[in-house]
Structure 1
Amino acid sequence: MAELLSVHVHIPLKDDITLKQSKSAGILKAGDQSSKASSKYDLRKKRNFDIEFRDLKYVVKDGHQKGTKEILKGISGQFKCGELTAIMGPSGAGKSSLMNILAGYRVSGIEGEILVRKKERDLRSFRKYSCYIMQDDHLLPHLSVEEAMMCSANLKLEEKMPMSEKEYLVDDILETLGLMDHKKTRTSNLSGGQRKRLSIALEMVNNPPIMFFDEPTSGLDSSSCFQCLSLLKSLAAGGRTIICTIHQPSAKLFMMFDHLYMLANGECVYGGGIKHLLPYFKSLGMECPAYHNPADYVMEVASGEAGEDKVKQLVASVRSGNMDKFVASQAQASSNRTSKSSMSSIAEAPEIDVDPSENDHLLTTRNDTTYVPGEHFLSCNEKSSEIASTSSRASTPSSDSGNKSGYDSESESTLSEDMKGENDCHTFNTSSFTQFKILFFRTFMSIMRDATLTRLRLIAHLIVGILIGLLYLGIGNEATKVFNNAGCLFFTVLFLMFSALMPTVMTFPMEMTVCIREHLNYWYSLKAYYFAKTMADLPFQIIYPLIYGSIVYFMTSQPSDLMRFVMFLTLATQTSLVAQSLGLLIGAATSLQVAVFLGPITSIPLLLFSGFFVNFDTIPIYLQWISYMSYIGYAFEGTLQAVYGFDRESLDCEKDIRSPECRHFDPETILSDLDVDKAKFYVDFIVLCAFFVVLRVSCYFVLRWRVKAQR
């Protein structure tokens, strides 16, 4: 297999494009192949994965009405390997919808066929050998470039691959994309162009043959836009299928694309080579004015500025097949001219003697063991067929521009017919336990470096604990200050609840975008991510309540009893864990803006029915059920039991114990007046544990629903 994959790298062809970082300007450009001779990572992917879709329709519900809206209206097209394809159209034309459907990010409301290498697409397998790089560069801000890349390599490459080889591969990709000098830089400190290149590098680890980009030049300056498209051009020239949506590029950037698929109102108005676009429009009486950006002109026509009749004319031409005939004729004429030129060049060219062993090092690792990126995937696809015996296969050049990369396309041969039955093609490259380990350390490292989640929270717990201790200093054993002490205990529960809830509510929605992208790009399973996220934050959610609870307990002179102290800290920790679980649930279900609003709002009824403000007996019967839903009530009730229950000795009272001020010297009287005399500590403990489990499990299923809803 390695020999078959390396056969195309031996002869430097005219159209071969290799990325090289310019030391002076930092611009990605075509370079001499020999300059990459020492590089193991070859940008050229010698696989042929054409994507074709036929009569594709996409329908969504029309708001709150019962009707539906047709986004895509029976469009057809083909995107070929070796070409940089642009999907363009006015706002609302269906660009993003088409991209999401082809990438497998949308699966509901779709009709029509999507084919990969002439075979019906198997979505799970397709997700494994394709990647989708979104418009916004969602990166974990507290990881360095190297750490982010190593996480990607450890998750996406085979476990059996030695770590040294993964490190070498990562360095090679970073060198290729011009990020080697920023290995130790935090992703939050990268520029827009560097973040875009890092997003691409993360997905290139397993060398996917199909790559989708949503508005890759969005938010970049002209220089960064050119660098980005130069990179995409080189990736396409290596035999990959590169598809991206783009809004309105400059003329220079527009001409860098090989293929254009133009949409208007959910209909295709053009699908062919960029160089045939203006002649085709001219043949329909729509000539682009001189010195006018072709991209701007076709956008104006597609948006109806030249008249709706022009749009209808273009749609009709596509549906009747006239557009395909015109493009094919133009491509044939161009091919004939190229053939004549090539024949004359070959007659004058010197003979080239090629030694196949010269470039074997391109696919050889430091330990002289051959490694092919994506080897596991290739073995799945080609398991039932030997490439050497495929004499009936024919390479398929582009209808618009021929074979642009100078590589021999492999056939239209099948994705293995039994791919759907091959479990290993549908599984991740790493086991669930390995995924958990990698994600656990990644999450733990991010938390440790996040000032909000670590240092600020630690400082807050220390400062607030000391303030509360000073405010209620030494009142824990005074009979005349029982209700003050109860207020201190309730505030403790309240503080632990908000200090665990709000940071989670504010950070988890941002992590969700990264999780969804990586999961849909087949990095790891949701259960591995969620379990790692839960376990990585657990030590902090335990340590902070212990620190705060210890300060408050001793400064306020609560009972000097080890059992009561342990019970108090246990409930404090449980309160924090349940509140964090609620924060995870809210963050998983909503956006950041909604989560920040819902966090405090959901806490209001839990506080009102906690038993501190209103006794249970005075609550109307039809509202008493809310009290049973308040975990704050159970935490407060259990804390009171820990402090005053279990046959505690009488409290101190400076006055006569028969005076009204000393009425609460008896702990039983205190529990009775606070309406918790019938409460059981173990019941409160079990209920809080149940809240924790139910919220955590619910959050996992909400997370799964959220991912499904994205599609």
Structure 2
Amino acid sequence: MADANAVVLNLEEKGPPNGNLIGKVESRLFEAQKLSHLPKRPPVKLEFKDLTYTVQEGSFRKKVQKEILKSLQGKFASGQLTAIMGPSGAGKSSLMNVLAGYKTRHMRGQILVNGKERDLGTFRKMSCYIMQDNHLLPHLSVMETMMISANLKLSQKMKLSEKKLVVNEILSLLGLTESSKTRVTNLSGGQKKRLSIALELVNNPPIMFFDEPTSGLDSSSCLQCVSLMKSLARDGRTVVCTIHQPSAKIFEIFDRLYVLGDGQCLYQGSIRGLVPYLKNMGLVCPPYHNPADFVIEVTCGEYGDHMSTLAKAVKEGKCKESDRQLMLSLTPASSVAPSRDQSPLTPTQPNGHLPLSSSSSEDVAAAHAQGDRSPSVEIKSCKAVQVTLSMNTRSGHVNGSATVSCTDNQYQDISEINMKHTFATNTLTQFYILFKRAFFMILRDQVLTQLRLLSHLAIGVMIGLLYLNVGNDGSKAYSNCGSHFFSILFLMFTALMPTVLTFPLEMNVFIKEHMNYWYSLKAYYLAKTMADVPFQIIFPVIYATIVYWMTAQPSDAQRFVLFLCIMVMTALVAQSCGLLIGAATPSEQVATFAGPVTAIPILLFSGFFVSFDTIPKYLQWLSYCSYVRYSFEGTLLIIYGLDRGDLECKEGDFCLFQTSEDVLKELDVEDGKLYVDFVVLAGFFIFLRLCAYCVLRFKLRAAR
């Protein structure tokens, strides 16, 4: 029999009364509270009742409502690390998305935050959702990524030096200090996962959601990740994660378990109470068998169809009763003791410290049922803390429990959190930070940026050599028009195709950051689209300058400037078209296919391959929708209009066009107005940009 000797220590609010022994215990108690520079947040208790979530399946005509979550109930308290488990298709991710506020449509039921109905705007500011995949920007360093997060999520009134203290403290805690100058693309999987967590820790959210945090990690990295989440929970946060068949060692780190099967809750309670509870339900876990594997096998039906029985038992409160009985059986004789080289008062928790709790009696009961686990607490709100450490000479471990008498309610009203429905920074600051980030991303993307520059130089020289000195030759007027059309064609595709992938490549990053309340959609859209504008001006100017002088166009400063402007406008409109296509398409593959396909009708009705009068009347309206038509018309008016004189015609050559007016008449643009072409191109630019923004806004709402 275990020889248990209990030692009771009273730790008053002003500190330990005496003795170095008590000081050692106190240092263990507060080991998890290392983030001293983070903004303070009160604890959050999340509860949901009769939660139902449905999705639509089937064809457009025959849509069927499929129920993913079926009248779920549950509660996640602060200071606890809760695992949501279940087989594939059980509804784990759906439950996480609904609780985190990522899915709001087709959801019924109550979600309560600290006992009050959840306000989604406020809740999103005080919570974070770290997804399964690490959606990070590859060309930024760890420190740069963290500082962007700090500048966006922390108050503008906070000094830069204070923000750096917060960032350095988080990086030190998560073991990323040595990698602070490393680019994200060169980080390992475990480091990327820790960086994803670090980005959300900047504003110290009291509730954190993790979707499959151990996915793709080795056993060592998995243990580090789950231990980190445990430490975050011990700091007073509410930490909830989905996990798929963890090892026994990792499974024991969790405080609470929520098991799903076919959209129903089959168990909710302590980790330690799982096996006894299932045994009472007639499901005996085999010896030396991982309880996590066993409960998944049960939900998959390998031991018979117990789904309805387990779901009914949860609704009848048998899980709570089982936890309460387990607590009563463990409380009188706490079975733990020190090893020879261990101090009798040194707890051997997974994270090396003993947590405290001021939770409700129900939470404390559940915590006691876990043996060496109990919820953490904000000590400032408590008058006295009583810690009981029991020693077991046979097991060589120390077990601890804590009872806390608090004068104030631990779970405060959400209105006291002082979080308005606004972002931490204003729109102008968000735009400035995001513009810098997007600009540096383009500069550091060597493949995209350098290839674009080289292509404009190489193709410009190639076109110049092919159409060398044809600009003022009357016998080669058609060739000169062809050179201008292919210049427009080249600038159109070089602006269109890279931009098509702008939003598909970063959509996951944007959704994660926007839903975690980093910045607004309009700030992101303006910054992302404007960051590429300087490159869409510089590259066409370089190309057009080479082509203009190599093809011997008129040596007129006014014509040259106007030629550069029409080329730049063409590139900007093509870029806007690419943004719209990228925003409207669901994936990279669809975007790369839709880009060239949509460009075909634009080119067909441009006026180069067929004149306007030749187009059937029922298709002529398409010509007005082609921005290339206005670019080509404007280019011809710049080169051959503006009162240009006669063209050169060498002796012995047949000159079809003697004057520049003949060229304009032949191409049916003699009545064109240059200012109209510029105005229409500017209209296309604004209209397409607004359409792309509206499409993004619609997709964002549809994603919820």
* Residue of structure 1 equivalent to 2:696: 703
Unaligned runs of 5+ in 1: 20-32, 343-347, 351-391
1:46 is displaced (CA, Å) by 6.9
Question: Could you list the per-position Cα deviations for residues 486-534 of structure 1 after superposition, in whole angstroms to 9, with x for gaps in the alignment?
Answer: 1111111111111111111124322222121111111111111112222
- Specify the SS of the correspondent of 1:486: helix
State which of 660, 668, 676 in structure 2 corresponds to 1:675.
Answer: 668
State which of 615, 629, 633 in structure 1 corresponds to 2:611.
Answer: 615
- Specify the SS of the correspondent of 2:273: helix
| 1:88 and 2:64 are equivalent in the alignment | no
Q: How far apart are the structure 2 equivalents of 1:474 and 1:6?
A: 90
1:415 is displaced (CA, Å) by 5.0
| 1:210 and 2:207 are equivalent in the alignment | yes
- What is the identity, as a one-letter code, of the residue corresponding to 1:400? A
Q: How far apart are the structure 1 equivalents of 2:425 and 2:14?
A: 26
State which of 154, 157, 160 in structure 2 corresponds to 1:157.
Answer: 154
Q: How far apart are the structure 2 equivalents of 1:94 and 1:332?
A: 33
More strand by share: 2
- Assess, with a 3 A threshold, how the Cα gap between structure 1 residues 53 and 406 changes in structure 2: closer, same or farther: closer
Equivalent residues in 2 for 1:105-184, closer than 5 Å: 105-184=102-181
1:329 is displaced (CA, Å) by 2.2
Unaligned runs of 5+ in 2: 1-11, 17-21, 338-342, 346-357, 382-407
State which of 473, 491, 504 in structure 2 corresponds to 1:509.
Answer: 504
1:42 is displaced (CA, Å) by 7.0
Q: Percent identity?
A: 56
Q: How far apart are the structure 1 equivalents of 2:535 and 2:81?
A: 47
**Aligned-residue RMSD, C-alpha:** 2.7
Q: How far apart are the structure 2 equivalents of 1:50 and 1:679?
A: 69
Q: How far apart are the structure 2 equivalents of 1:203 and 1:288?
A: 38
* Contact 2:233–2:376 (CA under 8 A) maintained in structure 1: no
State which of 250, 254, 259 in structure 2 corresponds to 1:257.
Answer: 254
- What is the identity, as a one-letter code, of the residue corresponding to 1:129? M
- What is the identity, as a one-letter code, of the residue corresponding to 1:221? D
- Assess, with a 3 A threshold, how the Cα gap between structure 1 residues 335 and 484 changes in structure 2: closer, same or farther: farther
1:130 is displaced (CA, Å) by 0.6
- Specify the SS of the correspondent of 2:367: coil
* Contact 1:17–1:237 (CA under 8 A) maintained in structure 2: no
- Specify the SS of the correspondent of 1:58: strand
Equivalent residues in 2 for 1:193-592, closer than 5 Å: 193-307=190-304, 309-338=305-334, 397-402=363-368, 404-408=374-378, 412=409, 416=413, 425-590=420-585, 591-592=587-588
More helix by share: 1
Q: How far apart are the structure 1 equivalents of 2:23 and 2:500?
A: 55
* Contact 1:15–1:406 (CA under 8 A) maintained in structure 2: no
* Residue of structure 1 equivalent to 2:629: 633
- Assess, with a 3 A threshold, how the Cα gap between structure 1 residues 393 and 71 changes in structure 2: closer, same or farther: closer
Q: How far apart are the structure 2 equivalents of 1:223 and 1:407?
A: 29
- Assess, with a 3 A threshold, how the Cα gap between structure 1 residues 444 and 597 changes in structure 2: closer, same or farther: same
Question: Could you list the per-position Cα deviations for residues 15-61 of structure 1 after superposition, in whole angstroms to 9, with x for gaps in the alignment?
Answer: 74746xxxxxxxxxxxxx8xx6xx74479x77321110000001111
- What is the identity, as a one-letter code, of the residue corresponding to 1:504? T
- What is the identity, as a one-letter code, of the residue corresponding to 2:591? A
Q: How far apart are the structure 2 equivalents of 1:5 and 1:706?
A: 52
Question: Could you list the per-position Cα deviations for residues 236-260 of structure 1 after superposition, in whole angstroms to 9, with x for gaps in the alignment?
Answer: 1111111111122122222221111
* Contact 1:476–1:558 (CA under 8 A) maintained in structure 2: yes
* Residue of structure 1 equivalent to 2:687: 694
Question: Could you list the per-position Cα deviations for residues 72-123 of structure 1 after superposition, in whole angstroms to 9, with x for gaps in the alignment?
Answer: 1111011111111111111111111100111010111110000111111111
- Assess, with a 3 A threshold, how the Cα gap between structure 1 residues 650 and 428 changes in structure 2: closer, same or farther: same
* Residue of structure 1 equivalent to 2:390: none
State which of 652, 656, 665 in structure 2 corresponds to 1:663.
Answer: 656
- Assess, with a 3 A threshold, how the Cα gap between structure 1 residues 457 and 693 changes in structure 2: closer, same or farther: same
- Specify the SS of the correspondent of 1:170: helix
- Specify the SS of the correspondent of 1:158: coil
1:341 is displaced (CA, Å) by 7.9
- What is the identity, as a one-letter code, of the residue corresponding to 1:50? K
- What is the identity, as a one-letter code, of the residue corresponding to 2:434? L
- Assess, with a 3 A threshold, how the Cα gap between structure 1 residues 406 and 323 changes in structure 2: closer, same or farther: closer
* Residue of structure 1 equivalent to 2:602: 606
State which of 630, 648, 654 in structure 1 corresponds to 2:650.
Answer: 654
* Contact 1:394–1:412 (CA under 8 A) maintained in structure 2: no
1:320 is displaced (CA, Å) by 2.5
1:473 is displaced (CA, Å) by 0.8
* Contact 1:439–1:533 (CA under 8 A) maintained in structure 2: yes
* Residue of structure 2 equivalent to 1:387: none
- Assess, with a 3 A threshold, how the Cα gap between structure 1 residues 531 and 507 changes in structure 2: closer, same or farther: closer
Question: Could you list the per-position Cα deviations for residues 441-467 of structure 1 after superposition, in whole angstroms to 9, with x for gaps in the alignment?
Answer: 111111111113322211111111111
Q: How far apart are the structure 2 equivalents of 1:48 and 1:160?
A: 24
1:678 is displaced (CA, Å) by 2.1
- Specify the SS of the correspondent of 1:53: strand
1:561 is displaced (CA, Å) by 1.2
- Specify the SS of the correspondent of 1:287: coil
* Contact 1:15–1:405 (CA under 8 A) maintained in structure 2: no
- Specify the SS of the correspondent of 1:593: helix
Q: How far apart are the structure 2 equivalents of 1:493 and 1:634?
A: 11
- Assess, with a 3 A threshold, how the Cα gap between structure 1 residues 700 and 337 changes in structure 2: closer, same or farther: farther
* Contact 2:135–2:508 (CA under 8 A) maintained in structure 1: yes
- Assess, with a 3 A threshold, how the Cα gap between structure 1 residues 536 and 70 changes in structure 2: closer, same or farther: same
- Specify the SS of the correspondent of 1:662: coil
Which 4+ residue blocks in structure 1 deviate beyond 6 angstroms?
4-11, 392-396
- What is the identity, as a one-letter code, of the residue corresponding to 2:284? E
Question: Could you list the per-position Cα deviations for residues 621-666 of structure 1 after superposition, in whole angstroms to 9, with x for gaps in the alignment?
Answer: 222222111111211111111111222111111146xx8x312122
Q: How far apart are the structure 2 equivalents of 1:521 and 1:11?
A: 39
TM norm structure 2: 0.86
* Residue of structure 1 equivalent to 2:4: none
- Specify the SS of the correspondent of 1:401: helix
- What is the identity, as a one-letter code, of the residue corresponding to 2:699? R
Moved more, 439-448 or 130-139: 439-448
Q: How far apart are the structure 2 equivalents of 1:684 and 1:249?
A: 64
- Specify the SS of the correspondent of 1:491: helix
- Assess, with a 3 A threshold, how the Cα gap between structure 1 residues 170 and 650 changes in structure 2: closer, same or farther: same
Q: How far apart are the structure 1 equivalents of 2:573 and 2:286?
A: 66
* Contact 2:80–2:256 (CA under 8 A) maintained in structure 1: yes
- Assess, with a 3 A threshold, how the Cα gap between structure 1 residues 40 and 602 changes in structure 2: closer, same or farther: same
- Specify the SS of the correspondent of 1:211: strand
* Residue of structure 1 equivalent to 2:74: 77
Question: Could you list the per-position Cα deviations for residues 380-428 of structure 1 after superposition, in whole angstroms to 9, with x for gaps in the alignment?
Answer: xxxxxxxxxxxx99787444214725535766566547579x8x61111
* Contact 1:497–1:576 (CA under 8 A) maintained in structure 2: yes
